[in-house]
Amino acid sequence: MMRDNDQDLLARYRERLGLVLGLSLILCSLAGYVIARFGTRPIHRISRSAEHIRSTTLHERIDTVGLPAELLGMAQTFNSMLDRLQEAFARVSQFSDDVAHELRTPINNLRGEIEVVLSKARSDDEYRETLGSGLEECARISRVIQSLLFLARTENTIEPLPREPVDVGHALHTVQEFYEAAASEAAIALRVDATPDLWAPLNRTLFQQAIGNLVSNAIAHTPRGGSVQMAACMKADQLQVIVADTGGGIASEHLPHVFKRFYRADPARSSAEHRVGLGLAVVKRIVERHNGRIDIESLPARGTQVTVRLPFAD
């Protein structure tokens, strides 16, 4: 009899245990479903927000209000990435517009001149003048393309810059000889003042191109009777090269922008002189490729001074 009671008790215990386990399993499943549904809701919200972002909606951001701490960092990082993408797209769009404008102007000029000269018979001198003007426009287009190609090639390159020991004074005198004719024609004195026997590890071609661009820009903005001076010395283990002019100077509001592509402090004058607004951008890129820095100081009616600082050794 005692044994039968024990068996009944054990059977009831098993039944109740099975019932409890079954209910527990159901409750745990329901709880897991609810937790998973509510727990992944922020993830689905982030996913839906990301799906709606296109190139035309880069201004949209993921709403971080109410996100758990575990997902907040990810959402903020994603928003930061969108900030960079939006800025990059804006630069590309502006760059494309600028390129189209810079190429459209000389092409339209060239086309207009050709159409005019073909409208009726012309003398040999008129044909020669038109061809000369067309050649200038072609040269302008070539300068734009070459500068853009250089900037594109060096945009995010990690290749080391080929260098060699360069006699800085000799390099500056080479630039002086190249621009002497243009300076003389503009009645501008072009001078060089470099520390004797000053050598530095440089890419000779790019260094001379950078200094040449600065000199060309200085000559273009210096009135007749003025001067442009190149100076070089070693200062605090850095090569310091200065190009200074006695031109009209640059207003302070323009100084932060002068190294941007296609930026012109004086659009009317630059257009008249067929300047494309890429020279200083190229200079800045060359200096950066040498791991250096470039600074500009200017006072209206007193002139401009550009200082290039290049590390003597990396």
**pLDDT given at position 224:** 94
CA 153 → CA 40, 85, 249, distances in Å?
45, 20, 32
pLDDT at 299 over 50: yes
DSSP per-residue codes, 78-99 = HHHHHHHHHHHHHHHHHHHHHH
Domains, in order of start, for the chain: 92-153 (1.10.287.130), 164-311 (3.30.565.10)
| pLDDT tens digits along 31-53 | 777 666 666 677 777 777 778 77
**pLDDT given at position 118:** 84
| pLDDT tens digits along 84-110 | 888 888 877 777 776 776 677 778 888
3-state secondary structure of 80: helix
**pLDDT given at position 269:** 44
pLDDT at 117 over 50: yes
Q: What token pair was written down for 223?
A: 């009135």
Report the percentage of the chain scoring pLDDT > 90.
31
**pLDDT given at position 302:** 86
In whole numbers, what is the pLDDT of the chain averaged over residues?
Answer: 82
**pLDDT given at position 152:** 73
Q: Token match 């302070």: residue?
A: 252
| pLDDT tens digits along 50-64 | 787 777 777 788 888
Using H for helix, E for strand and C for coil, what is the string for 3-54? HHHHHHHHHHHHHHHHHHHHHHHHHHHHHHHHHHHHHHHHHHHHHHHHHCCC
Minimum mean pLDDT among 66-80, 181-195, 260-274: which range? 260-274
| pLDDT tens digits along 200-253 | 999 998 999 999 999 999 999 999 999 999 999 998 889 999 999 999 888 888
* CB 50, CB 63: distance < 8 Å: no
Neighbours of 210 (CB within 10 A): 30
**27 vs 270, more confident:** 27
Cα distance from N-terminal residue to C-terminal residue, the chain: 98
Q: Token match 């009616």: residue?
A: 301
